[in-house]
Protein backbone atom coordinates (compact mmCIF):
# COMPACT_ATOMS: atom_id res chain seq x y z
CA UNK A 1 0.00 0.00 0.00
CA UNK A 2 2.73 2.41 1.02
CA UNK A 3 4.65 1.74 -2.15
CA UNK A 4 1.66 2.21 -4.44
CA UNK A 5 0.54 5.30 -2.54
CA UNK A 6 4.00 6.79 -3.02
CA UNK A 7 4.14 5.88 -6.70
CA UNK A 8 0.66 7.17 -7.50
CA UNK A 9 0.97 10.11 -5.12
CA UNK A 10 -2.44 9.13 -3.83
CA UNK A 11 -3.93 7.92 -0.56
CA UNK A 12 -7.35 7.25 -2.08
CA UNK A 13 -8.75 3.72 -1.81
CA UNK A 14 -11.56 3.31 -4.32
CA UNK A 15 -14.61 1.49 -2.90
CA UNK A 16 -15.88 -0.28 -6.00
CA UNK A 17 -19.55 -0.10 -5.03
CA UNK A 18 -22.57 0.21 -7.31
CA UNK A 19 -26.31 0.24 -6.68
CA UNK A 20 -28.36 -2.95 -6.89
CA UNK A 21 -28.83 -4.45 -10.33
CA UNK A 22 -31.24 -7.25 -11.17
CA UNK A 23 -29.24 -10.50 -11.10
CA UNK A 24 -29.93 -11.07 -14.80
CA UNK A 25 -28.19 -7.74 -15.50
CA UNK A 26 -25.10 -8.50 -13.43
CA UNK A 27 -22.83 -8.38 -16.44
CA UNK A 28 -23.54 -4.63 -16.44
CA UNK A 29 -21.95 -4.46 -12.98
CA UNK A 30 -18.82 -6.19 -14.17
CA UNK A 31 -18.52 -3.74 -17.08
CA UNK A 32 -19.12 -0.72 -14.80
CA UNK A 33 -16.46 -1.92 -12.36
CA UNK A 34 -13.96 -2.57 -15.13
CA UNK A 35 -14.63 0.82 -16.73
CA UNK A 36 -14.22 2.80 -13.48
CA UNK A 37 -10.96 1.01 -12.61
CA UNK A 38 -9.60 1.64 -16.11
CA UNK A 39 -10.51 5.30 -15.85
CA UNK A 40 -9.41 6.24 -12.33
CA UNK A 41 -6.46 3.92 -11.63
CA UNK A 42 -3.85 6.71 -11.94
CA UNK A 43 -5.49 8.59 -9.05
CA UNK A 44 -5.96 5.81 -6.50
CA UNK A 45 -3.67 3.61 -4.42
CA UNK A 46 -5.90 0.54 -3.87
CA UNK A 47 -9.32 -0.92 -4.60
CA UNK A 48 -11.75 -2.06 -1.93
CA UNK A 49 -14.42 -4.60 -2.85
CA UNK A 50 -17.60 -5.26 -0.96
CA UNK A 51 -20.53 -7.68 -1.19
CA UNK A 52 -21.91 -5.29 -3.83
CA UNK A 53 -19.76 -7.22 -6.32
CA UNK A 54 -18.93 -10.56 -4.69
CA UNK A 55 -22.63 -11.46 -4.31
CA UNK A 56 -23.79 -10.84 -7.88
CA UNK A 57 -20.55 -11.71 -9.71
CA UNK A 58 -19.22 -14.51 -7.54
CA UNK A 59 -15.72 -14.64 -6.09
CA UNK A 60 -13.97 -16.90 -8.58
CA UNK A 61 -14.20 -15.85 -12.23
CA UNK A 62 -16.24 -12.65 -11.70
CA UNK A 63 -14.48 -10.75 -8.90
CA UNK A 64 -11.24 -12.67 -9.42
CA UNK A 65 -10.95 -11.24 -12.95
CA UNK A 66 -11.36 -7.73 -11.53
CA UNK A 67 -8.67 -8.47 -8.95
CA UNK A 68 -6.31 -9.48 -11.74
CA UNK A 69 -7.09 -6.23 -13.55
CA UNK A 70 -6.42 -4.24 -10.38
CA UNK A 71 -3.11 -6.04 -9.86
CA UNK A 72 -2.11 -5.40 -13.50
CA UNK A 73 -2.43 -1.73 -12.60
CA UNK A 74 -0.29 -2.33 -9.48
CA UNK A 75 -3.25 -1.69 -7.19
CA UNK A 76 -3.53 -3.74 -3.99
CA UNK A 77 -7.01 -5.09 -3.24
CA UNK A 78 -8.99 -5.21 -0.01
CA UNK A 79 -12.09 -7.30 0.70
CA UNK A 80 -14.48 -5.44 2.98
CA UNK A 81 -16.19 -8.59 4.30
CA UNK A 82 -16.04 -7.54 7.97
CA UNK A 83 -15.25 -11.11 9.08
CA UNK A 84 -17.36 -11.69 12.17
CA UNK A 85 -17.91 -15.36 13.02
CA UNK A 86 -16.37 -18.23 14.97
CA UNK A 87 -12.72 -18.98 14.18
CA UNK A 88 -13.19 -22.10 12.06
CA UNK A 89 -15.69 -20.29 9.82
CA UNK A 90 -13.55 -17.13 9.72
CA UNK A 91 -10.59 -19.21 8.59
CA UNK A 92 -12.50 -20.69 5.64
CA UNK A 93 -13.83 -17.25 4.66
CA UNK A 94 -10.33 -15.76 4.81
CA UNK A 95 -8.77 -18.61 2.83
CA UNK A 96 -11.26 -18.21 -0.03
CA UNK A 97 -10.69 -14.46 -0.24
CA UNK A 98 -6.91 -14.74 -0.07
CA UNK A 99 -6.87 -17.60 -2.60
CA UNK A 100 -8.99 -15.52 -4.97
CA UNK A 101 -6.23 -12.90 -4.88
CA UNK A 102 -7.23 -10.35 -2.25
CA UNK A 103 -4.25 -8.75 -0.53
CA UNK A 104 -6.10 -7.92 2.68
CA UNK A 105 -9.48 -8.25 4.29
CA UNK A 106 -11.41 -6.29 6.89
CA UNK A 107 -12.37 -8.09 10.11
CA UNK A 108 -14.47 -7.23 13.15
CA UNK A 109 -12.56 -7.31 16.47
CA UNK A 110 -15.85 -7.75 18.36
CA UNK A 111 -15.43 -11.52 17.93
CA UNK A 112 -12.16 -11.49 19.90
CA UNK A 113 -8.95 -13.47 19.44
CA UNK A 114 -9.33 -17.04 20.76
CA UNK A 115 -11.63 -19.00 18.47
CA UNK A 116 -12.32 -15.66 16.77
CA UNK A 117 -9.79 -13.79 14.65
CA UNK A 118 -6.64 -15.71 15.59
CA UNK A 119 -7.11 -18.11 12.70
CA UNK A 120 -7.65 -15.22 10.27
CA UNK A 121 -4.36 -13.61 11.29
CA UNK A 122 -2.64 -16.99 10.95
CA UNK A 123 -4.12 -17.56 7.47
CA UNK A 124 -2.97 -14.07 6.47
CA UNK A 125 0.55 -14.55 7.83
CA UNK A 126 0.95 -17.87 6.03
CA UNK A 127 0.27 -16.14 2.71
CA UNK A 128 1.87 -12.74 3.33
CA UNK A 129 -1.54 -11.05 3.30
CA UNK A 130 -3.12 -8.38 5.50
CA UNK A 131 -5.86 -8.01 8.11
CA UNK A 132 -7.47 -4.62 8.74
CA UNK A 133 -9.63 -4.19 11.85
CA UNK A 134 -12.81 -2.19 12.24
CA UNK A 135 -12.32 0.26 15.08
CA UNK A 136 -15.03 2.90 14.75
CA UNK A 137 -17.48 2.72 11.87
CA UNK A 138 -18.59 5.70 9.82
CA UNK A 139 -22.37 5.48 10.32
CA UNK A 140 -24.43 7.06 13.12
CA UNK A 141 -25.31 3.79 14.87
CA UNK A 142 -21.59 3.11 15.41
CA UNK A 143 -21.97 4.80 18.81
CA UNK A 144 -24.23 1.93 19.97
CA UNK A 145 -21.44 -0.66 19.66
CA UNK A 146 -18.01 0.79 18.91
CA UNK A 147 -18.76 3.85 21.06
CA UNK A 148 -19.95 2.05 24.19
CA UNK A 149 -18.27 2.69 27.53
CA UNK A 150 -16.72 -0.59 28.63
CA UNK A 151 -14.38 -1.89 31.29
CA UNK A 152 -11.06 -2.83 29.71
CA UNK A 153 -10.50 -6.48 30.66
CA UNK A 154 -6.73 -5.91 30.93
CA UNK A 155 -6.54 -2.64 32.87
CA UNK A 156 -9.87 -2.83 34.72
CA UNK A 157 -10.38 0.84 33.73
CA UNK A 158 -13.45 2.35 32.11
CA UNK A 159 -12.82 3.27 28.50
CA UNK A 160 -14.51 3.27 25.09
CA UNK A 161 -14.91 0.14 23.03
CA UNK A 162 -13.04 1.66 20.07
CA UNK A 163 -10.06 2.50 22.30
CA UNK A 164 -9.90 -1.16 23.36
CA UNK A 165 -9.98 -2.14 19.67
CA UNK A 166 -7.17 0.29 18.86
CA UNK A 167 -5.02 -1.37 21.54
CA UNK A 168 -5.93 -4.82 20.23
CA UNK A 169 -4.84 -3.75 16.75
CA UNK A 170 -1.36 -3.12 18.16
CA UNK A 171 -1.33 -6.32 20.19
CA UNK A 172 -2.53 -8.47 17.29
CA UNK A 173 -0.19 -6.76 14.84
CA UNK A 174 -2.97 -5.68 12.48
CA UNK A 175 -2.08 -4.14 9.12
CA UNK A 176 -4.59 -1.31 9.45
CA UNK A 177 -7.61 -0.04 11.33
CA UNK A 178 -10.81 1.51 9.99
CA UNK A 179 -12.13 4.69 11.60
CA UNK A 180 -14.88 6.71 9.90
CA UNK A 181 -13.97 10.08 8.41
CA UNK A 182 -17.29 11.21 9.86
CA UNK A 183 -15.66 11.12 13.32
CA UNK A 184 -12.33 13.00 13.11
CA UNK A 185 -12.14 13.30 16.90
CA UNK A 186 -12.17 9.49 17.13
CA UNK A 187 -9.47 9.26 14.45
CA UNK A 188 -7.34 11.54 16.63
CA UNK A 189 -7.83 9.40 19.74
CA UNK A 190 -7.09 6.18 17.85
CA UNK A 191 -4.04 7.77 16.23
CA UNK A 192 -2.73 8.68 19.69
CA UNK A 193 -2.93 5.00 20.70
CA UNK A 194 -1.38 3.67 17.48
CA UNK A 195 1.42 6.24 17.42
CA UNK A 196 1.72 5.97 13.64
CA UNK A 197 2.63 2.24 13.82
CA UNK A 198 -0.55 1.12 12.02
CA UNK A 199 -2.24 3.03 9.17
CA UNK A 200 -5.77 4.35 9.62
CA UNK A 201 -8.20 3.73 6.75
CA UNK A 202 -11.02 6.22 6.76
CA UNK A 203 -14.31 5.73 4.88
CA UNK A 204 -17.21 8.18 4.85
CA UNK A 205 -15.81 11.03 2.78
CA UNK A 206 -18.35 12.63 0.44
CA UNK A 207 -21.81 11.00 0.44
CA UNK A 208 -21.68 10.18 4.19
CA UNK A 209 -20.55 13.73 5.01
CA UNK A 210 -16.96 13.16 6.15
CA UNK A 211 -14.39 15.78 5.21
CA UNK A 212 -10.99 15.09 3.75
CA UNK A 213 -9.13 17.80 5.62
CA UNK A 214 -10.43 17.05 9.11
CA UNK A 215 -9.98 13.29 8.70
CA UNK A 216 -6.41 13.65 7.47
CA UNK A 217 -5.41 16.28 9.99
CA UNK A 218 -6.71 13.95 12.70
CA UNK A 219 -4.39 11.18 11.48
CA UNK A 220 -6.10 9.23 8.66
CA UNK A 221 -3.53 7.62 6.36
CA UNK A 222 -5.84 6.41 3.59
CA UNK A 223 -9.28 7.67 2.55
CA UNK A 224 -11.81 5.11 1.33
CA UNK A 225 -14.09 6.72 -1.25
CA UNK A 226 -16.97 4.98 -3.01
CA UNK A 227 -20.09 6.60 -4.35
CA UNK A 228 -18.57 10.08 -4.64
CA UNK A 229 -16.47 8.54 -7.45
CA UNK A 230 -18.49 5.57 -8.73
CA UNK A 231 -21.71 7.56 -9.09
CA UNK A 232 -20.04 10.74 -10.32
CA UNK A 233 -20.92 12.06 -13.77
CA UNK A 234 -17.20 12.42 -14.30
CA UNK A 235 -15.37 9.84 -12.16
CA UNK A 236 -11.93 10.80 -13.51
CA UNK A 237 -12.34 14.46 -12.67
CA UNK A 238 -13.77 13.58 -9.23
CA UNK A 239 -11.01 11.10 -8.38
CA UNK A 240 -8.36 13.56 -9.52
CA UNK A 241 -9.94 16.35 -7.45
CA UNK A 242 -10.23 14.18 -4.31
CA UNK A 243 -6.63 13.06 -4.70
CA UNK A 244 -5.35 16.60 -5.03
CA UNK A 245 -7.47 17.79 -2.08
CA UNK A 246 -5.92 15.04 0.05
CA UNK A 247 -2.44 15.85 -1.26
CA UNK A 248 -3.01 19.46 -0.31
CA UNK A 249 -3.56 18.51 3.35
CA UNK A 250 -0.28 16.67 4.02
P1 LIG B 1 -19.07 5.61 0.27
O2 LIG B 1 -19.90 5.42 -0.94
O3 LIG B 1 -19.86 6.09 1.44
O4 LIG B 1 -18.58 4.10 0.58
O5 LIG B 1 -17.83 6.40 0.02
C6 LIG B 1 -17.81 3.72 1.69
C7 LIG B 1 -17.43 2.29 1.57
O8 LIG B 1 -16.76 1.92 2.75
C9 LIG B 1 -17.57 0.98 3.46
N10 LIG B 1 -17.62 1.49 4.81
C11 LIG B 1 -16.96 0.97 5.79
N12 LIG B 1 -16.16 -0.08 5.77
N13 LIG B 1 -15.81 0.35 8.07
C14 LIG B 1 -15.60 -0.39 6.94
O15 LIG B 1 -14.86 -1.37 7.00
C16 LIG B 1 -16.61 1.42 8.11
O17 LIG B 1 -16.77 2.09 9.13
C18 LIG B 1 -17.20 1.73 6.91
N19 LIG B 1 -18.02 2.71 6.58
C20 LIG B 1 -18.25 2.54 5.27
C21 LIG B 1 -18.93 0.93 2.84
O22 LIG B 1 -19.50 -0.35 2.95
C23 LIG B 1 -18.58 1.30 1.44
O24 LIG B 1 -18.08 0.18 0.73
Contacts of 105 (CB under 8 A, 6+ apart): 78, 79, 80, 81, 83, 94, 97, 98, 120, 124, 129, 130, 131, 132
pLDDT for residue 208: 86
pLDDT for residue 185: 98
Q: Which residues of the chain have pLDDT under 70?
A: 250
- Ligand 1 neighbour 230 (Cβ under 6 A): no
pLDDT for residue 237: 98
pLDDT for residue 153: 87
Q: What pTM value is reported for the model?
A: 0.97
Q: How buried is 203 (Cβ within 10 angstroms: 0-12 exposed, 13-18 middle, 19+ buried)?
A: buried
36, 247 Cβ separation under 8 angstroms: no
For residues 212 and 107, give the distance between their C-alpha atoms in angstroms, rounded to a whole number.
24
- Ligand 1 neighbour 134 (Cβ under 6 A): yes
pLDDT for residue 232: 97
**Residue in 33, 47, 51, 80 to alter for ligand 1 test, most ligand atoms within 8 A of Cβ:** 80
Q: Is 50 helix (H, G, I), strand (E, B) or coil?
A: coil
Which is the closest atom of ligand 1 to the Cα of 106?
A: 15
Closest Cα to atom 19 of ligand 1: 138
Amino acid sequence: MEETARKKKSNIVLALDFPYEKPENRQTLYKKAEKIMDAVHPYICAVKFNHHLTLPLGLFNGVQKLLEKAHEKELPTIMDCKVNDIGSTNQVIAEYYYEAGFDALIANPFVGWDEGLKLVFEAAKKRGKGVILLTYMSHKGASEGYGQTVVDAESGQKTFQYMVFAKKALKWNADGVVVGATYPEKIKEVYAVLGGKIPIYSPGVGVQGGEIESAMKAGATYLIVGRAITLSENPVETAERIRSMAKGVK
